[in-house]
Amino acid sequence: MKKQKIPKLIYALAIIALLRLTVACSQGGQKIAFFQYKSGDTFISEMMEHMTTSVPEGVIFEVRDAANSQSVQNQQIVELIEEGFDLFVVNAVDRLACSTIVERCAAEDIPVIFFNREPTEDALIGHNAFYVGADADSLGEKQADMIAELFTGQFAGSRFDKNNDGIVQLVILKGEQGHQDAEKRTDNCVARLKELGFEVDVLGIEVADWNRRDGYEAMRRLYSQFGDDIELVFSNNDDMALGAIDYLLTIGVFSLEREADEQPYVIVGVDGTAVGLEAIESGLLYGTVNNDAIKQSSAVLTLVEFILGDKDLSTFPYAITRGHYVYIDGDIITRANVAEFIG
């Protein structure tokens, strides 16, 4: 009986599949899970894309979305503990829940890497648990540094001092009440501006839940109350800043024909998202502080490889602070250097 030949393409595909299976088996069939606090957050979406498209070959992974519910996230974590996952990468809904998450995972010897929302320090001490993210203090301070450079230390009498009183009248779009990053960015942008010698009058603070739609409504409320008294807008992130710009464009206060430092208000954000960079390039957003999603994602995945490969963390290529924290510094981005960060 004549033997049937296997088509070359099918044979090649079978070899590739076998090689991939061999890699997976050599890594022990390792499985990692990514937990995000909610979809729709621009910065988190960018980080998730960077991380999930760069997972080491042969490592199985799943992504779970908590829809902004800590109870949902807790249940998701319990389910994947039961399914035998080897490592969790967690963007917690509530940073105060991190202790419970670590304890549950530690009981099953599962390492945890938190990102974006920084756990309290006592949540990590004594456990195989880490945090990767920006230094929230630094992000707020750099917003102020950016503005100080724009005002060149001589705000009084400048074109930015609209009422000629020598005091910076500003409003703040706050990400989330009680959220550590929001509180620190809010406090430090103002404190740093004062430290640099500026007199500051915070006219109002509106919570806008990190998103563009709420930023629009927050700016509407602030404008209805303070109108042309506003000289500066600090936003805890780019999306809320863009929401504010959307509102100001709608009512004709902002114009597409002007540069960002020629608009009635100077607006600055945090994150350096793709849409934020586009707004800088188009002259609507004066600037932002890069929250460096790419470098943070790379640090997370490098830490994943070190943990799964049982590598010596003394050779880890990023500085580890207090044994558990990996802080990634961010750059100030304005029209002058935005081209370096686009694409």
What confidence score (pLDDT) does residue 302 get?
A: 97
pLDDT for the residue 114: 98
- pLDDT (tens digit per residue) in 48-95: 999 999 998 889 999 999 999 999 999 999 999 999 999 999 999 999
pLDDT confidence tier of residue 7, bands split at 50, 70 and 90: very low
Judge whether residue 259 has pLDDT over 90: yes
Q: What is the 3-state secondary structure (H, E, C) of the chain?
A: CCCCCCCHHHHHHHHHHHHHHHHHHHCCCCEEEEEECCCCCHHHHHHHHHHHCCCCCCCEEEEEECCCCHHHHHHHHHHHHHCCCCEEEECCCCHHHHHHHHHHHHHCCCCEEEECCCCCHHHHCCCCEEEEECCHHHHHHHHHHHHHHHHCCCCCCCCCCCCCCCEEEEEEEECCCCCHHHHHHHHHHHHHHHHCCCEEEEEEEEECCCCHHHHHHHHHHHHHHHHHHCCEEEECCHHHHHHHHHHHHHCCCCCCCCCHHHCCCEEEEEECCHHHHHHHHCCCCCEEEECCHHHHHHHHHHHHHHHHCCCCHHHCCCCCECCCEEECCCCEEECCCHHHCCC
- Percentage of residues in the chain with pLDDT exceeding 90? 83
Comparing 181 with 213, the larger pLDDT belongs to 213
pLDDT tens across 197-245, in order?
Answer: 999 999 999 999 999 999 999 999 999 999 999 999 999 999 999 999 9
- Please tell me the distance from the alpha carbon of residue 226 to that of residue 207, in angstroms, as a whole number: 16
Q: What is the pLDDT of residue 153?
A: 63
β-bridge pairing 332-334 and 287-290: antiparallel
CA 239/CA 242 separation, integer angstroms: 5
Looking at residue 47, its pLDDT comes to: 97
- Enter the pTM of the model: 0.86
Q: Could you confirm whether domain 8-133+294-311 is CATH 3.40.50.2300?
A: yes
- What pLDDT does 25 receive? 37
Q: In which band, very low, low, confident or very high, does the pLDDT at 28 lie, cut at 50, 70 and 90?
A: low
| Chain segment 297-306, per-residue pLDDT in tens | 999 999 999 9
CA atoms within 13 A on the CB side of 108: 18
User: Percentage of the chain surpassing pLDDT 70?
Assistant: 91
* pLDDT band (50, 70, 90) for residue 180: confident
The pLDDT, as a whole number, for residue 8 is 37
Which pLDDT belongs to residue 1? 40
> Is residue 15 predicted with pLDDT exceeding 80?
no
pLDDT of residue 23: 36
Rg (CA), the chain: 24
pLDDT at 4 over 70: no
pLDDT of residue 264 exceeding 60, the answer is: yes
Domain 136-291+335-340, second-level architecture:
3-Layer(aba) Sandwich (3.40)
Question: Which of 88, 93, 87, 91 lies closest to 71 in space, CA to CA?
Answer: 93
Do 136-291+335-340 and 8-133+294-311 have the same topology in CATH? yes
**Torsion angle of C-alpha atoms 296, 213, 284, 170, degrees rounded to 10:** -90
* Arithmetic mean of pLDDT, 32-55: 96
For range 2-13, the mean pLDDT:
38
Sequence ranges of the domains in the chain: 8-133+294-311, 136-291+335-340
pLDDT at 120: 87
- d(CA 269, CA 332) in angstroms, rounded, equals 10
CA 256/CA 273 separation, integer angstroms: 20
CB 303 within 8 A of CB 113: yes
Query: Looking at the predicted structure, is the pLDDT value of residue 285 above 90?
Result: yes
> Is 330 or 1 the better-scoring residue by pLDDT?
330
Distance CA 115, CA 294 (A): 13
